[in-house]
Amino acid sequence: MKSNTPWWKSGVVYQIYPRSFYDSNDDGIGDIKGITAKLEYLSWLGIDAIWLSPVNTSPMYDFGYDISDYYDVDDCYGTLDDFMELIDQAHKLGIKIIMDLVVNHTSHMHKWFIESRSSKDNRRRDWYIWHEGKDGKVPNNWKSAFGGSAWEFDPHTGEYYLHSFLKEQPDLNWRNPDMRKSIYKMMRFWLDMGVDGFRLDVVNWFVKDKKFRNNPFTIKPFDPEKHKYDRNRPEVHDYIRELRSVVDEYENRMTVGEVFTLPPGSPVLAASFLGNDNDELHLTFDFSIMYRLWSARRFYNCIKKWYKAIPEGGWPCNVLSNHDQPRSRSRFMGGADSENRARVAAVFLLTIKGTPFLYYGEEIGMKNARLSRGDIVDPLGRRYWPVYRGRDCSRTPMLWNSRSNAGFSTVRPWLPVDSSYKNINVRAQMNDRYSMLNLYRNVLHLRRKHKALSEGEIFPVMKGINGVLAYMRVQGDEKFFIALNFTSKTKRVSEDERGQWRVMFSTHRTKYEHFTSLDMTLAPYEAMIVMRIGDL
């Protein structure tokens, strides 16, 4: 029977940072052909969709998050033909392709901005956010996320333009209808080509206060203000509804929004972009878990708040790592326990309710690379070193095998390969049934086979007190019990549910072991998935 559930609810998305996945032409930079070459691997792994960080033409001040041509692919990644070939080959394997839509800002080298800054009466002047100075100074106290004022003076016309990030990333003016029309036209270009959807970069920052009021001032490292007026303005929702209607001209497409807030994260804000009755984005990221330390109780509280915030008809989405944060394996710490923790986290991510997003390398337990100042290319790391080392440590090349450069490239890669590659790599882990990689693969395949694990309702059983998290996933006749021991001690699990249960996956015991009640002892850091197979 074909299920009516859309693919983005039951599927698993795998994020690729294209620069670092696989280099097909030996220039040290990952590229589109490299991704196509590794599709077989991803299909073997069992993912359903790929989200590509930006591949559009860019001067790379922010490694692609500064786009100078929305209609083309950057030379360092290949050609438009390579991209079409990637879509084709991926679709043949049943894998969807999601593009990054970076439309809060463009590159300062985008032709729209070049026109906009050319004169005050240019037809594209108002496509960006221009303002005159105040008493010879910046218009207000808004700060760039990457440091300093968010305003840059442009001597040519004597006004300031707004940039929420680098000065090489001027913010677009979403209040301008012609600008929006051009964005929608560009989206249709990619949707017509067969792209399955978009990840919207900083979607909650698109609209700024009309009156340009000062933000209330509070002192926090890297972020010395509350973003009351330059982010999260209510009008943004009107534009997101408009954008959604463009995507809805096509079948089966998906949008996922990056709703960026500082720690502790905000599930309520993230959920607000799901709209009423599904009229805004299909999915949004809540980063609360990424900001939490390792703890069953904290993880439980995050998902509880997240689920509670999701509107009727909405669907959660869960993520442990991305290209902006330290890799989860390293964040969980735990020294010698870090691999065990990463395994528990993997089973958690793949069995809680919501669409999981994996970050390349997470499936082999990749760690943050140790980099020195000379290696750093991220503008954030260069600016704040050594207080903040930037994002390069989680963007290093994928570890494919134990050969030189971990099989990523035959020449020196753009960022160093992490020194752990002799032990942590795809090739070695494919051959080891008990590896992290095979854990991911097994659980991904189990999810595919049993819809309760992907689409089912979730019912908490043990809420993380005492280090154990346990829950049921239920759909139709299918019922699964998942138990996760977040600690290095054995733990007893006991739930009054008689019946015949069978172990479908465990980090510690053999598959198909049977239970007649849910009364069991978990080994340290054991994660297990059991299925109800009948009455007693």
Out of 23, 62, 225, 418, point to the residue binding ligand ISL (CB under 6 A): 62
| 8 Å CB contact between 406 and 20 | no
User: Measured from the CB of residue 287, what is the shortest distance to ligand ISL in angstroms?
Assistant: 8
Cβ distance to ligand ISL smaller for residue 33 or 391 = 391
Q: 31, 66, 159, 258: which one is catalytic?
A: 258
Is 525 one of the binding residues for ligand ISL (CB under 6 A)? no
Of 353, 267, 260, 281, the closest CA to residue 310 belongs to 267
Of 306, 330, 238, the closest CA to residue 275 belongs to 238
Out of 17, 65, 142, 501, point to the residue binding ligand ISL (CB under 6 A): 65
Is 29 one of the binding residues for Ca ion (CB under 5 A)? yes
| 8 Å CB contact between 443 and 504 | no
Q: Which residue has the tokens 């739930």?
A: 495
Cβ distance to ligand ISL smaller for residue 65 or 299 = 65
Out of 202, 347, 369, 462, point to the residue binding ligand ISL (CB under 6 A): 202
d(CA 35, CA 31): 7
Is 392 one of the binding residues for Ca ion (CB under 5 A)? no
Out of 31, 48, 62, 201, point to the residue binding Ca ion (CB under 5 A): 31
d(CA 298, CA 289): 8
Segment 87 to 106, residues that bind ligand ISL, using CB under 6 A: 102
Measured in whole angstroms, how far is the alpha carbon of residue 193 from the centre of its chain?
A: 23
| 159 has catalytic annotation | no
Contacts of 241 (CB under 8 A, 6+ apart): 275, 279, 280
Out of ligand ISL, Ca ion, none, what residue 62 binds, judged by CB under 5 to 8 A for its kind, is: ligand ISL
Is 209 one of the binding residues for Ca ion (CB under 5 A)? no
* Three-state secondary-structure class, residue 370: coil
Segment 349 to 368, residues that bind ligand ISL, using CB under 6 A: none
SS (H, E, C) 120-178: CCCCCHHHECEECCECCECCCCCECCCCCECEEEECCCCEEEECCCCCCCCEECCCCHH
Cβ distance to ligand ISL smaller for residue 202 or 527 = 202
Out of ligand ISL, Ca ion, none, what residue 420 binds, judged by CB under 5 to 8 A for its kind, is: none
Residue 377's DSSP bridge partners are none
Out of 7, 10, 27, 241, point to the residue binding Ca ion (CB under 5 A): 27
Segment 240 to 269, residues that bind ligand ISL, using CB under 6 A: 258, 260
User: Measured from the CB of residue 185, what is the shortest distance to Ca ion in angstroms?
Assistant: 30
* Three-state secondary-structure class, residue 83: helix
Out of 130, 165, 440, 525, point to the residue binding ligand ISL (CB under 6 A): 165
| 121 has catalytic annotation | no
DSSP string, 451-499: HHHHHSEEEEEEESGGGEEEEEEEETTEEEEEEEE-SSS-EEEEE---S
Chain residues binding ligand ISL by CB under 6 A are 62, 65, 102, 145, 165, 201-202, 258, 260, 323-324, 391
Q: Which residues form the catalytic set?
A: 201, 258
Binding residues vs Ca ion (CB under 5 A): 23, 25, 27, 29, 31
